[in-house]
Amino acid sequence: MSSSEGLRNLVHQRLHKDVFENACSKWNGWMILVVDGEGMRMISSAMGMYDLMEHRVTTVENLDMKRAPFKDMAVIYLISPTAESIQSIIDDWTDESKRLYANTIFLNFLYRVPDHLLAKIKECRNILKRLKVCNEVNVNVVVKESHSFHLDMKSSLNNIYDSKNRDSGASDCEQDVVNKLVTFFATLNEYPYIRYKNDSIVASRIARKVQDAMNNFTRTNSTWWYYGDTKHNSRERCTFVLLDRNEDMISPLIHELTYQAMVYDLLEMDDDKLTYKIPENSKEKGDEGEEGEDSDKKDVLLNDNDEVWVEFRHKHIADVMQTVSKRITDVVNTNKASKLQNTDENKNMSVSELASALKSLPEYRELVSKLNQHMHVANECFSKYNEQQLGELGELEQTLATGQDEDGKTPKLLDLVEEIAAILPTIPNHNKLRLICTALLAQCGSLEDEHIDQFFEAASLSKSEKGIIDNITNLNKKPEEPNENNTGTATMLGAMFGGKKLQKVANQTLSNSEYASCRYVTKVKTVLDAMVNDRLSQDIYPGTQPLPTFKTTTAASVRTRGASVKNTKWSREKKNKKKSYTGGRQIVFIIGGMCMSELRGGYELMENGEKEILVGSTEFLSPENYLKQLKNLS
C-alpha cells in the first residue's frame, strides 16, 4: 500500500528542494524572486508568501515589468524558457551601470531549454560570471487541488480543434501539450502506459507523440527513475488515458447543483479568487473600501488551503447550506471562546477557563469567519439559482442527458420538445444556448427539422449564437460505425431518442447522489470507473505500446464502489490523515478543457475506492468560457 502526497505537495517539494533550498545553500543573505507569467502561475499554485519568506525571499517581482534595484540581494529567476523571457534576463545584465541585484544569479527554468536559447545565455559573459545555478526543474503544470491539474493553456479548444489544425496536428499548442505532459510525468516519476480512444484522431496522434517524447526523455536522462522499475516498486507503473473533448460535449453545458460547479458557473471567479457580495446585515469591521466606506464586495481564495472549501466543494448546494448553517450554530454553542462574548456567562468562568478561552479565541474567530464566508457564498449561488429558474431548466437538462426523468421514467419525445420550446423565451440567452446544444447533442439526429426550427423560433437567437450551435454539433460529428442495435449515427452517448421515447443512457448507475438533479454521470467518470476496476476495453482504448495483463477487480473495490460517505463532523485530524492506495496511479487527461463536474467524478471514485486517481486537462472550463471558445471556432 502507498499513501498519496497529492500533486500540490509534490510540486511544493520540487520547488522547495531544487529552487529555494539550493539557493539558500549557496547564498546567506536575502533574495528576490523574479518570475514571468508562467513562473508566477506555477509558484502561486504550490507555495505561499510565508513559504518564500522561510527561504529568505523578500519580494516576488514580474520579469516583464520595470523593477526596483536591490543590489545587496541575490536574484532567483523562475521562468519559462521562451525567447522573450531569456532576452529579458540578458537585458538585466547587459549594462553594468544599471545592475539591479547582487552579483549572484540562480537561474531556474520550468522545463527544457532549447539549445539555441541556451546558447544565447552562454554568450552573455555578465551572466556566466555571476551564475551559481542553471537548472531545469520540470514543473510545468498548475496544481490548484491535490488530485487535479491543468496545463494553463487558455483557448486550447480553439487552437487544437480549429479546422486547419485538427486533422493535421500542425498547431504549436498540440506540441506544447506533449512537452508539458512529459515534464509532468518527470515530476511524478511516472513512465505511464499510454492509452487513447481508438476513434479519436487528436487523442491517438497526441498519445503517440507523448510516447515518443517519453522514450526520448528516458534515454537522455539516465539518472531519472520511475515507479514500477526494478528499484522502485512501492507502486506499479501508472496508466494514462487521453480523451478527446468531443468525446463528451454535453458535460460542460449542464447546470450542476454541486457547490464548486455552481461557484464557477454563476459567480465572479478569476482563477481561484472569488468576489462575492456581503449582505448589509453581515458586514463586519474591516469590510471597508479605500475611502473608509463600507464595501459591498469581498475577495476570497477558494483552494486547498481552505478546509471548509475542500470538504464541501463536491456536495449538493442544499447539503452545503444546511450543514454549514448547523456547524456555525454548533461551534458558537460549544466553543469556550464564545462565552467571552456573553457577559453573563464569562462572569462565572474560572481563571483557568478564561485562559483556555482566550487561547482558542483566534482559532474560534477564524473558523466562524470561514464558515460565515461560505454561508454567504452558498446563499449567493442559491440566489442565482432562483433568479435564473435553474430548478426547471436543470431538470430538463438532466432528462435530456440521461434519457429518464426524475422518477426514472422515459418521457415522450414530443412532450420534451414542447417543454423546451415553452421555457426558452423565459431564460437568459446563454442558458438558451446551453439547453438547445444539450438537446441537439443528446438526441443524436432523431429530432425533426421542424422541432429544431421550433427551438430557434422560441429562442430568438442571433446569427453568432446560432454559429455556436453549428460549431458544437459539427465538432461532435464522428465516423459512422456499424451497430446491429442502432442503424442511426453512432455517437458518444448512443442514440438517446428512439421512436417516440428517449432511450436510457448507459452507465448512469454510477451516480451516488440522492438528488435527482445530479443524476447525470459524465463520460470521464465511466472511463475512470472502468480503469480502477480493470475493465477498460483494450480494443476501444488501445495502448501506444503493448499493455500489461491487468489484475481482476478485487472484492474490496466492488464493495466500496458507489458507497456513500457522510462527513458531518468537523475534524482537523482528517486533514492530516493520508489514505493508502494499491497499484499504480490512474490518470485521465482531456484534450480541450475539463469542467467541474468531471473533476468531481475522479474525487468521488477515489474517496470510495483503492486506487489513486489524477484528472487533468489543457485547461479548466467554465460554461461561459466553453461557449466563448465554441463561438470562435473556425
What span, in angstroms and rounded, lies between the C-alpha atoms of 529 and 268? 33
The CATH number covering residue 127 comes to: 3.40.50.2060
Spatial strand order in the sheet of 193-196: 142-145, 148-150, 613-617, 586-591, 239-244, 193-196
pLDDT at res. 567: 41
Which of residues 348, 372, 387 is at a domain's end? 387
- Rounded to the nearest 10 degrees, the angle between the axes of helix 351-387 and helix 317-334 is 160
What span, in angstroms and rounded, lies between the C-alpha atoms of 194 and 396? 37
The CATH number covering residue 443 comes to: 1.25.40.60
Closest CA to 275 of 251, 254, 301: 301
Domain match, 399 and 503 both: yes
> Do the domain assignments include residue 476?
yes
pLDDT at res. 281: 58
Domain match, 157 and 49 both: no
What span, in angstroms and rounded, lies between the C-alpha atoms of 214 and 207? 11
Question: What single string gives the DSSP state of each residue in 452-498?
Answer: HHHHHHHHT--HHHHHHHHHHHHHH-------TT--S---SS---EE
Instruction: Dump strand ranges (E) for 137-206.
Output: 142-145, 148-150, 193-196
Tally of domains within the chain: 4
3-state class (DSSP) for residue 412:
strand
What span, in angstroms and rounded, lies between the C-alpha atoms of 457 and 461? 8
Domain match, 329 and 340 both: yes
Which of residues 77, 111, 139 is at a domain's end? 139
Which helix (H) or strand (E) segment is 443 a member of?
Answer: helix 429-443
Q: Specify the pTM.
A: 0.83
> Do the domain assignments include residue 491?
yes
The CATH number covering residue 585 comes to: 3.40.50.1910
What span, in angstroms and rounded, lies between the C-alpha atoms of 576 and 6? 12
Q: String of b and e for 22-57 (b: at least 16 CB within 10 Å)?
A: bbbeebeebbbbbbbbbbbbbbbbbbeeeebeebbb
Closest CA to 588 of 270, 238, 212: 238
Say if CB 180 and CB 111 are below 8 A apart.
yes
Say if CB 46 and CB 146 are below 8 A apart.
no
Domain match, 442 and 400 both: yes
Closest CA to 307 of 358, 380, 264, 369: 369
Going by their DSSP bridges, the two strands 148-150 and 31-35 should be labelled as unpaired
User: What's the DSSP call for residue 294?
Assistant: B
> Do the domain assignments include residue 294?
yes
Domain match, 30 and 96 both: yes
> Do the domain assignments include residue 92?
yes
> Do the domain assignments include residue 302?
yes
Count of Cβ atoms closer than 10 Å to residue 509 Cβ = 10
Domain match, 283 and 222 both: no
User: What's the DSSP call for residue 101?
Assistant: B
Q: What is the 3-state secondary structure (H, E, C) of 567-597?
A: CCCCCHHHHHCCCEECCCCEEEEEECCECHH
Say if CB 334 and CB 360 are below 8 A apart.
no
Q: Is the dihedral of CA 115, 117, 123, 128 positive or negative?
A: negative
Count of Cβ atoms closer than 10 Å to residue 580 Cβ = 10
Say if CB 158 and CB 623 are below 8 A apart.
no
Domain match, 296 and 360 both: yes
Count of Cβ atoms closer than 10 Å to residue 228 Cβ = 19
What span, in angstroms and rounded, lies between the C-alpha atoms of 63 and 86? 10
HSE, side-chain direction, 13 A CA sphere, residue 178: 24
Domain match, 334 and 445 both: no
> Do the domain assignments include residue 253?
no
Which of residues 123, 139, 155 is at a domain's end? 139
Residue type at 390 in one-letter notation: L
Q: What torsion, rounded to 10 degrees, do the Cα atoms 257, 399, 248, 501 define?
A: 180
**Which residues of the chain, if any, have pLDDT below 70?**
1-4, 169-170, 279-295, 335-362, 444-446, 477-512, 550-578
Domain match, 361 and 394 both: no
What span, in angstroms and rounded, lies between the C-alpha atoms of 282 and 565? 33
> Do the domain assignments include residue 254?
no
> Residue 142 pairs with which residues in a beta bridge?
150
Domain match, 44 and 120 both: yes
Domain match, 134 and 207 both: no
pLDDT at res. 3: 57
pLDDT at res. 364: 73
Containing structural domain, residue 10: 2-139
> Do the domain assignments include residue 612?
yes
Domain match, 105 and 173 both: no
CA 282 to chain centre: 31
pLDDT tens digits, 568-613: 344 444 444 567 888 899 999 999 999 999 999 999 999 888 899 9
The CATH number covering residue 302 comes to: 3.90.830.10
3-state class (DSSP) for residue 193:
strand
What span, in angstroms and rounded, lies between the C-alpha atoms of 392 and 373? 28
pLDDT at res. 211: 98
**CA angle (150, 225, 105) in 5-degree steps:** 70
Closest CA to 397 of 358, 363, 437: 437
Q: Integer distance in angstroms from the first to the last C-alpha of the chain?
A: 49
What span, in angstroms and rounded, lies between the C-alpha atoms of 416 and 399? 9
Q: 37: Cβ–Cβ under 8 A, 6 or more apart, which residues?
A: 64, 80
